[in-house]
Amino acid sequence: MNKTEILIIDDEPQIRKLIQINLESNDYKVNQAATGKEGLILSANHPPDLILLDIGLPDISGHQVLQELREWYNKPIIMLSVQDSETDIVSALDNGATDYLTKPFRTGELLARIRSAIRSSQNTENNSTIICGYIEIDLVARVVKKKAETVKLTSTEYNLLALFAKNEGKVLTHQFILKNIWGYSYQTETQYLRVFVGNLRKKLEENPNNPQYIITESGVGYRFQ
C-alpha cells in the first residue's frame, strides 16, 4: 500500500526537520521545500496528497503560493504561521486553505488535522450517504438520522448540515457559509448564522453546550468533525 505523501513548504530548517521526523514515524512519506517557488515546482512535478504551507516564506508569501496552487491543486492545504491573526486565518481559508495551525503547535494536533483533512478529501462527490459518528446524512433522499432515528430539519438547516458534512474537518468561514447557503447579500449576517447553528446543535448534539460535531472556530467560522 502506498504511503500518504506530504510536502512541507517552510523556510525554517528546524521546523521542517521536526515535522518530517514526526510524520515519518507515523508512516507518512515526506518531501521538503524551503521557498515558495521551490514548493510550487515540487508540487507540480510530483503532486502530494497534502501540503503544509507556511505563510511567512522568504521569496513569495504563503498566501500567493496558496492562490497559485488552488488554480490546479484540489487536495488539502494546511497553512502554518507564527501569527495568530484573524485576518490571516480568514484570508487563507477564503482562498482555499483546508485548515490553519498557529506555531508552535502540538504534534498530536497536527497529526489529527492531517488525518481529518485527508479523510475529507477522500470523500468523493458521488457518495450518497455521509456517516459521522451517530449521525447519518442521505444526500439523495435529504434524510438525516441520529442514532437511526429520523431528525426533522428545515430545508435551510439541512442545507447547512450538508455543507458542513461535505467539508468535514475543514474550517468554513462565516462569509463562506453565508454566501453558499443564503447568498452574497447575507455575508455579514453572522448572528443569523449563529441562530441556525444553535438550532442544528439542539437537534443533533448530545450536549449542545459542549458540541462534538459542529465546532466553533472563534472569530472565524465553524468546523464539522
Q: Within this chain, do residues 108 and 145 fall inside the same structural domain, yes or no?
A: no
Q: Model's pTM, two decimal places?
A: 0.69
State yes or no: pLDDT of 27 exceeds 90: yes
Helix (H) or strand (E) holding 18: helix 13-24
Which of 92, 121, 150 is the last residue in one of the domains? 121
Q: Within this chain, do residues 92 and 193 fall inside the same structural domain, yes or no?
A: no
Q: Within this chain, do residues 81 and 152 fall inside the same structural domain, yes or no?
A: no
Q: Within this chain, do residues 168 and 197 fall inside the same structural domain, yes or no?
A: yes
Domain CATH code at residue 204: 1.10.10.10
What are 57-113's pLDDT values in tens digits? 999 999 999 999 988 888 899 999 887 677 888 888 888 898 999 888 899 999 999
What are 124-164's pLDDT values in tens digits? 445 678 888 889 998 878 899 999 999 999 989 999 999 89
Whether residue 6 contacts residue 46, with contact meaning beta carbons closer than 8 Å, is answered with: no
Q: Within this chain, do residues 115 and 134 fall inside the same structural domain, yes or no?
A: no
pLDDT for 127: 65
pLDDT for 66: 93
Whether residue 38 contacts residue 44, with contact meaning beta carbons closer than 8 Å, is answered with: no
Q: Within this chain, do residues 140 and 184 fall inside the same structural domain, yes or no?
A: yes
Phi, psi torsion values for 101, nearest 5 degrees: -130, 135
Q: Within this chain, do residues 134 and 88 fall inside the same structural domain, yes or no?
A: no
Total domains present in the chain? 2
Residue found under cell 449563529? 194
Domain that holds residue 149: 129-224
Which of 121, 138, 165 is the last residue in one of the domains? 121
> How many helices (DSSP H) and strands (DSSP E) are in the chain?
8, 12
Q: Within this chain, do residues 85 and 179 fall inside the same structural domain, yes or no?
A: no
pLDDT for 114: 94
